[in-house]
Amino acid sequence: MKVLVAVKRVIDYNVKIRVKSDNSGVEAANVKMSMNPFDEIAVEAAILLKEAGSVDEAAVISIGPTRCKETIRTALAMGIDRGIHVETDARIEPLAVAKILKIVADKEAPDLVLMGKQAIDDDSNQTGQMLAAFLGWAQGCFVSKLDIAGDRATVTREVDGGRETNVLKMPAVVTTDLRLNVPRYATLPNIMKAKKKPIDTLCPEDLGVDIGPRLTIRSVIEPPRRDAGVIVGGVSELVDKLRNEAKVIQ
C-alpha cells in the first residue's frame, strides 16, 4: 500500500501575524516558517501506518517556492521515504492545489492521500474535498481516528452530536484533525539521513495545470481591539447593559 501526504509551508503558529503597511496581505519576509500543524499530524499518521506494516511506501508533496524543500526535509526526517516538490513562486489557491495533487496522484497511484483538514494561514478547508471530487475517491474529513484493514479505511470524526464513524473503500482522501495523534520530533540521526532521501522537483507547467488566481484580495486588515470587560453589580445592571449598550436583547 502507498500513501501520499500533502504538506504546506506556513508562518509558524507561534509568530504574531503582522499586516503589511499597504494592506495587501500579511508580512512573511524574515518570519519563521514551518510545516502546517494539521499536515504534521497527517505525516505522523502515514509514519504510524508504515510502522504498523499497513503501508509499504510513504511520499510527501509540497507546492510552493524553493524553501518548501525545508518543509519536505522535515517530513523526511520524521520518517517519510521520499519527497515531491512542485516549485512555484506564485500564490496558490486551494483549487489549483487540488488540481496539481490530482495529476500527481494519477501518476503516483497511491491508495491513500493524507493532508491536514486546513492550513492555518488561509483556513480555507477546501483542498481535501476538492481533490476527492476530482479523483472520484471516497473522502473522510476532520478525522480524529484512522484504522486500515485491507482495502478499507475506518475513520472517526467529531460532529455536533458526538462522533461519527465511517468505513471508506480505498483509494480515499483523508484530512486529519488535532486529536488523531501527536507528531514526533525528528531526531538528529534521522535529520542527517533525510539529506540523502530523494526529492523530485516539478513545476505546474510540467503538469499542465493553470494556477492563475480566481480570487482577488481587496484588503487585509487587523481585527479591531476589543474593549476591556467590566464587572457588573448584579443581574439588573447586566440586563440594562445588554439592552441599552450592547443592544443584543429587547
* Contact by Cβ (8 Å): 125, 118: yes
Q: What would the pLDDT profile of 69-126 be if each residue is shown by its tens digit? A: 999 999 999 999 999 999 999 889 999 999 999 999 999 999 999 999 999 988 899 9
Reported in sequence order, the residue ranges of 179-231 that DSSP labels E, i.e. its strands, are: 199-202
Reported in sequence order, the residue ranges of the chain that DSSP labels E, i.e. its strands, are: 2-7, 9-11, 33-35, 57-64, 82-87, 112-116, 138-149, 152-159, 162-169, 172-176, 199-202
Q: Where are the domains of the chain?
A: 2-222
pLDDT of residue 228: 82
Which residues touch 139 (CB under 8 Å, ≥6 apart)? 128, 129, 132, 168, 172, 173, 174, 175
Q: Which amino acid is at 107?
A: K
pLDDT of residue 161: 84
- pLDDT for 250 beyond 80: no
pLDDT of residue 36: 96
pLDDT of residue 18: 87
Q: Which amino acid is at 221?
A: I
| CATH 3.40.50.620 correct for 2-222 | yes
Q: What is the pTM of this model?
A: 0.86
Q: What would the pLDDT profile of 55-78 be if each residue is shown by its tens digit? A: 999 999 999 999 999 999 999 999
What does the pLDDT average to over 48-58? Answer: 94
What does the pLDDT average to over 216-228? Answer: 85
